Amino acid sequence: MSYAGKRVWITGASSGIGAGLARAFGAQGATVILSGRNREALAEVAAAVPNHMVLPFEATDQEVLPRVVDHAGPVDFLINNAGISQRGLFEDTVMEVYRTIMEVDFFAPVHLTKLVLPQMLARGSGHIAVTASVAGKVGSPQRTGYCAAKHAVMGFFDALRTEVGGRGIRVTTIVPGFVKTEIGARALTSDGSRKGSAKGDDVDAGISPDEAAAQVLAGIAAGAREIRVGGGTPEMGLLDLKRNDPDALLDLMGQMGSAVVQKFKDQAAA
User: CB neighbours of 49 closer than 8 A, spacing ≥ 6?
Assistant: 22, 23, 25, 26, 32, 34
59 binds ligand NAP (CB under 6 A): yes
For ligand NAP, the binding residues in 137-176 under the rule CB under 6 A are 176
Could you say which of 98, 146, 156, 178 is catalytic? Answer: 146
State the Cα torsion 180-174-37-200 to the nearest 10°. Answer: -20
Q: Is 146 a catalytic residue?
A: yes
Among 27, 41, 252, 261, binds ligand NAP (CB under 6 A): 41
Alpha-carbon distances, residue 117 vs 94, 126, 138, 169, 206 (angstroms): 34, 8, 29, 9, 33
What's the closest the beta carbon of residue 51 comes to ligand NAP, in angstroms? 20
CA 4 to the chain's CA centroid: 25
Among 24, 79, 84, 220, binds ligand NAP (CB under 6 A): 84
17 binds ligand NAP (CB under 6 A): yes
- Binding piece for ligand NAP, criterion CB under 6 A, among 16-24, 90-98, 189-197, 236-244: 16-24
Across the chain, how many H-helices and E-strands are there?
9, 7
Enumerate the active-site residues: 146
Contact positions vs ligand NAP (CB under 6 A): 12, 14-18, 36-38, 41, 58-60, 81-85, 104, 131, 133, 176, 178-179, 181-183, 186, 203, 206
